[in-house]
Every structure is written in C-alpha cells, then in structure tokens.
Chain A
Amino acid sequence: MEQQPPQPNDSAQEKTLGFPPTPEAGGKVPPRPARRPPHEEEAPTEVLNERGQATAAALGRVVGSRASSSGGRDDIPWVLVMPDHLFEVLSLMKEHPETKMDMLHLLFAVDYLDHLQLIYILASLSLNQKAMVKVDLPVAGDDAQATVDSAVALWEAAGWYERETHDLFGVRFEGNPDMSPLLLYEGFEGFPGRKSFPFNEYTEY
C-alpha cells in the first residue's frame, strides 16, 4: 500500500497548543492554568490510638513542663521542646523506667523555610512503644548553621544520623567527636537538603 504524504498541519490546532508562540498571541507563551489550591484542612486521623495514648501519658509525666506543645498520630505521640532542654529531655526519656527509650530509631530535619525542625523518633523495645521529640531551630539565612547538643553520648546510632543532618541541613551537633561529611564529599558547599538549595539549576562540574 502506498503511503499517504504527510498533511500540512492545521493552523487551528497549533493555536490551541500555544507553542511555539503565534503572532496572534503577541509572541508570548500563554500562562499556565492555575494549580488547584492545596488542602486546607488538617489530616482527618491526627489522633492517637489506645497504645499511643498510654505512651503519651507516660511521656507527659516524664517530660512535664519542658514540653511547649504535644500531639501525635496513631501510636506515636510527640512533644516539642526548646533547644536548651533537648539533651535533658532525651536523657530523661532514655533513663526513666516509664519510657525506657533504648533505641534512637530515626533522627532527621525538615526545612520549614523560616526554621528547621529536628525530629527524633525514639523506640523502646522492652516496652514496645515509640515517641517523637521535636525541636524548632531558627536559622538566619541559607548558609547559616544552627547548633544543638549531640545525643551521641546516649545512643551510638546518633553519630551517623547527626553527620548526615549536618551534611544536608547544616545543623551543628555540639559534642559529636566526628563531624566530617558522611554522604557528601569534603569541600562540598551548601546544604542540599534545604528547600533553598537549587534543585534543577545546580551543576556540579
């Protein structure tokens, strides 16, 4: 069968696509349609279950007035503490017989643009419970670092988590004996975990 020669493009179709810009559109790319606004309501199940409530009660007794706010979801309650109280709260949670957090499950940072939030997820294998400790750290600028106390004296696992957080978010941990880069190389500039770090524009070489 003989092939049909390609038909010239319909100009109307080109217009709807909007690219490349036509003279009618004034040589400009039409603006993109507006994005749907994000959900405004809070998550429906930001509540603790039975196990979580028991942990939260124990947590409240141990941390006491050092917590500036608290909450939780499912089985993991959290407390927000001031950076000055962080080490005290962590060691209390490790030692106190009601919490007995013998494992540092996870430590990481979240960049909320105006401040960094450090989140410690602690686990107690003997009591089978989990809890979070959050700290808000204000940072002055894109290159500014924040400083908190290291938890390496409490849990061995803190060492690498802290080095990683220092690499990616620029949080200094006072008391960690080794703060050399873990995931990045020596001499890397900037904190690639932060929202301000250029994602697409960054070229390494």
Chain B
Amino acid sequence: MATEYDTGQTPETVDMMLNMGPQHPATHGVFRMVLAVDGERVVDLVPHIGYLHRGSEKLMENETYAQVITLFDRLDYVSNFNNELAFVRAVEKLMDLEPPERAMYIRVILCELNRVASHLLFAGTYALDIGAMTPVMYTFRERERIQNLFESVSGARMMHNYIRIGGIKEELPDDFVHRTRKLIDELRRGVEETDKLLTFNEVFLARTRGVGMIDAATAISCGLTGPGLRASGSTYDVRKDDPYEIYDRLDYDVPIGEYGDSWDRYWLRIQECYQSLRMIDQCLDQLEPGPIMPQMRRIARPPKGEAYAHCENPRGDIGVFVVSDGTNKPYRVKVRPPSFCNLVALRQMVQGSYIADAVVVLGSLDIVLGEVDR
C-alpha cells in the first residue's frame, strides 16, 4: 500500500549550479558563466566578465591622440580597422576635419575587407563550437589571404595602426587594386564554399534552428546591435541609418533575419560577406588618385568640447565618445563596445534551452573579450 511509505513530504528538486569557464575552449577567451540547471535545462545564467580588464579607457587619457589609435587596435582584435575608424571619426568631428576622398575610399575598402575576415573567423569557429572540424580550415585559409593583403598595406597582420586623424598613414602599394580584385574573386568562391558546406547542413540546422531565439523588442531593450539585432527583423544598420564616410554612395543591401535564432545570426553574417565584397568592388571602381592626408599639424590638438561618433563594426554598433580639454591628450574616452552590449542579451537567449545549446548561443553572438572587458 502506497500510504504506508508516505512520509508526508513532497519530493523537492534543487537546481544544480554549473560553472563554465573562464578557461573553456568554447567561450572564445576568458569568459565565465554560471548556469543553474534543472536536469538538462538551463534555468538561469549569470555571466561573469572582467578577466581581461586592462583599463584601456584610463590608459587612453594618458596617451596622445595618435597613440590612442594603437589602443583601439587592441579592443576588438579581429576587426582592427573598424575600431580605429570609430575613434578617428570622433576626433575628426571634434576638430571639424574632413578627410580627403581617396582616404575615405581606402578606409571603407579596408573596413569591409576586415568585416569579411571577421565573419569568416566567426563561421569557422562557430562550426568548431558545434562540432564540425572541417569548415575552420577553409575559412582560415580565406582569412589568411586577407591578412596577407593587410600586411602589404599596413605592415602588420593585425595591429595595423593605419588610419590617422584626418586620413590614412601612407599610400597603398602599387599592386593593391589588382591584388584586391583577384582577392575578391577568391573570397567570393571561398565564402560560397563555406556557405555550401555549412549553411544547410542537416546537423548544423538541427543544432542552430530555433535555438536562442530573441524578439526585436527585447533585443533593442538589451542594447543588442549588428547582426544579432538584424537577425530579429530590425533593419538598424549604422551604414544605412546614419551614413558615414562614403557609404551613401554605395549600392548594397542589408540582409534581415526572420526568427532571431542562432541560425539566422550565422546566415546573416555569411550574407553580409557577399554584400561587403560587392561594396569593395564598387569602391575599387570609384577609387581615384589624390591626397590621402589634409594639411594639418602633426600633433592633433582638438579644441575644447566633446563629440560622439559611431560606426558599424562586424559585431554591431561601436560608439566612441571623446571629451577634449584642448591639450594633446583626450580628457576622457568612452567606448561603446558592441560585444559588451550583446552579452547582456545572452541570459534572455539561453534561459530555457539545453546546456549544450548555451555554447551554440554564445558562439552565435560572436563576442571578443578584448572588447567586452576593455
């Protein structure tokens, strides 16, 4: 008889706390999250950041404007040109400076190439997170081609320090246009290859479709920008909504997702690669010889004031706020790192999914810890 064994207590379940990171191959850096799990389900998630906090913003207050550019290279270390551009544009606003046409075209070409490199890195490592070992070989091969071109332009593979206040550091190498045209063809094939290999792969679809869904209203409230937000159906893209440099002269589309799940976020980045290559093609057509730096003092000394500029980084909307006190060093620099804001949305996305999906969702956000912690 059942009543004989009845203790008068109802069975109680306790959530198990599961620690993940900071040393974990799928967190792309020193990121730690504590999961509260009920069986295989994630009930709650608490992200912990700050392991890579170097005090970049404080450092910037003690460097001259030209030196600060090097620190921006080290924030989001896979899309360096985009970061440099954001800071340089803020200072240019402060100084009321318009860079020459050619400099703007070169900046856009390099930024878009960097976007492709960053998205390729994402596609490869994302597949690796999910368990596909092959795509990373293909995407890194393509990314390497871009890095080689960057090396010929700036002398460095990653920490370029190439974009200057008012223009760019030096003229492009003679064979740049020829090499880039060839590269675009190769990249188009390379991206297509990854696309065919991964996008509609049965296993890949099963792991990513419907995982980590977020609706546009929640995403906006969390501050999510870039491909993460556009996957939810929002059209917000700084290049379209607040055109900077020469983006308003280019013809391109902004791909939009439908469901806001991990697959949409991945697919959007692949589509962005095609659009970026289209943009570079047009820029090369429109690129004309001319000056690359305006006549200005060697040491930038912006007048007193404050300015805010934002750009579309591969990860989202990067913003830079600069306060100048009239000296050759900024009084305060504040960065709006897109990865930092994107991470806020992680909790909303992971709650209710399986433990194994936490890695899939985190990977789809494509965070760079150098930028999150600054």
Pairing of A with B: yes
- Interface residues, chain A, with chain B CB atoms under 8 Å away: 35-36, 38-46, 73-76, 102-106, 108, 110-111, 119, 121, 125, 128, 132, 155-157, 159-160, 181-185, 192-193, 197, 199
Q: Tell yes or no: B94 within 8 A of A by CB.
A: yes
Contact B332 A111, beta carbon cutoff 8 Å: yes
Q: How large is the interface on B (under 10, 10 to 19, 20 to 34, 35 or more residues)?
A: 35 or more
* Chain B proximity of A62: nearest CB distance (Å): 19
Contact B306 A73, beta carbon cutoff 8 Å: yes
Contact A192 B223, beta carbon cutoff 8 Å: no
Docked pose: A185 CA to B48 CA in angstroms: 10
* Chain A proximity of B349: nearest CB distance (Å): 12
Contact A110 B336, beta carbon cutoff 8 Å: no
0/1 interface trace, chain B 297-327, chain A, CB 8 Å (1 if under): 0000111111110000000010101011111
Q: Which residues of B contact A183 (CB under 8 A)?
A: 49-50, 53, 373-374
Docked pose: A145 CA to B213 CA in angstroms: 39
Q: Which residues of B contact A44 (CB under 8 A)?
A: 96, 303
0/1 interface trace, chain B 231-260, chain A, CB 8 Å (1 if under): 000101000011000000000000000000
Docked pose: A184 CA to B51 CA in angstroms: 8
Q: Tell yes or no: B222 within 8 A of A by CB.
A: yes
Docked pose: A181 CA to B53 CA in angstroms: 12
Q: Tell yes or no: B218 within 8 A of A by CB.
A: yes
In the A-B complex, list the 10 residue pairs whose CB atoms are closest, starting with the nearest. A38-B326, A43-B305, A157-B223, A39-B326, A183-B50, A108-B334, A39-B303, A183-B53, A156-B222, A156-B221
Q: Which residues of B (26-67) have their CB < 8 Å from a CB of A?
A: 49-50, 53, 55, 57-58, 62
Docked pose: A118 CA to B344 CA in angstroms: 21
* Chain A proximity of B317: nearest CB distance (Å): 8
Q: Which residues of A contact B220 (CB under 8 A)?
A: 102-103, 125
Q: Tell yes or no: B341 within 8 A of A by CB.
A: yes
* Chain B proximity of A18: nearest CB distance (Å): 23
* Chain B proximity of A9: nearest CB distance (Å): 31
Contact A155 B223, beta carbon cutoff 8 Å: yes
Given contacts A36-B301, A41-B304, A45-B93, 17 further A-B contacts (CB under 8 A): A38-B301, A38-B327, A43-B305, A103-B223, A104-B223, A105-B336, A106-B334, A110-B323, A128-B242, A156-B221, A156-B223, A156-B345, A157-B344, A160-B340, A183-B49, A183-B374, A192-B58
Residue of B nearest to A185 (CB): B50
Assuming the A-B contacts A45-B96, A46-B305, are A157 and B321 also in contact, with contact meaning beta carbons closer than 8 angstroms in the complex?
no
Main secondary structure of the interface of B (DSSP, over half): mixed
Contact B93 A74, beta carbon cutoff 8 Å: yes
Docked pose: A182 CA to B336 CA in angstroms: 16
Contact A193 B62, beta carbon cutoff 8 Å: no
Would you list 12 pairs from A and B whose C-beta atoms are within 8 A, ordered by A residue?
A39-B301, A41-B304, A44-B303, A73-B93, A73-B308, A110-B331, A125-B220, A125-B234, A182-B50, A183-B373, A193-B57, A199-B58
Residue of A nearest to B229 (CB): A125
Q: Which residues of B contact A41 (CB under 8 A)?
A: 303-304
Main secondary structure of the interface of A (DSSP, over half): loop
Contact B341 A43, beta carbon cutoff 8 Å: no
Contact A43 B96, beta carbon cutoff 8 Å: yes
* Chain A proximity of B246: nearest CB distance (Å): 18
* Chain A proximity of B313: nearest CB distance (Å): 14
Q: Which residues of A contact B331 (CB under 8 A)?
A: 110
Assuming the A-B contacts A38-B325, A43-B94, A110-B323, are A157 and B304 also in contact, with contact meaning beta carbons closer than 8 angstroms in the complex?
no
Docked pose: A39 CA to B299 CA in angstroms: 14
* Chain A proximity of B312: nearest CB distance (Å): 14
Residue of B nearest to A94 (CB): B221
* Chain B proximity of A201: nearest CB distance (Å): 13
* Chain A proximity of B273: nearest CB distance (Å): 24
Docked pose: A55 CA to B374 CA in angstroms: 32
Assuming the A-B contacts A39-B326, A75-B242, are A156 and B344 also in contact, with contact meaning beta carbons closer than 8 angstroms in the complex?
yes
Q: Which residues of B contact A197 (CB under 8 A)?
A: 58
Assuming the A-B contacts A125-B234, A155-B223, A199-B58, are A73 and B218 also in contact, with contact meaning beta carbons closer than 8 angstroms in the complex?
no
Docked pose: A38 CA to B373 CA in angstroms: 32
Q: Which residues of B contact A105 (CB under 8 A)?
A: 223, 317, 319, 336
Docked pose: A39 CA to B93 CA in angstroms: 16
Q: Which residues of B contact A181 (CB under 8 A)?
A: 50
**From B58, B93, B308, contact of A121 by CB (8 A):** B308
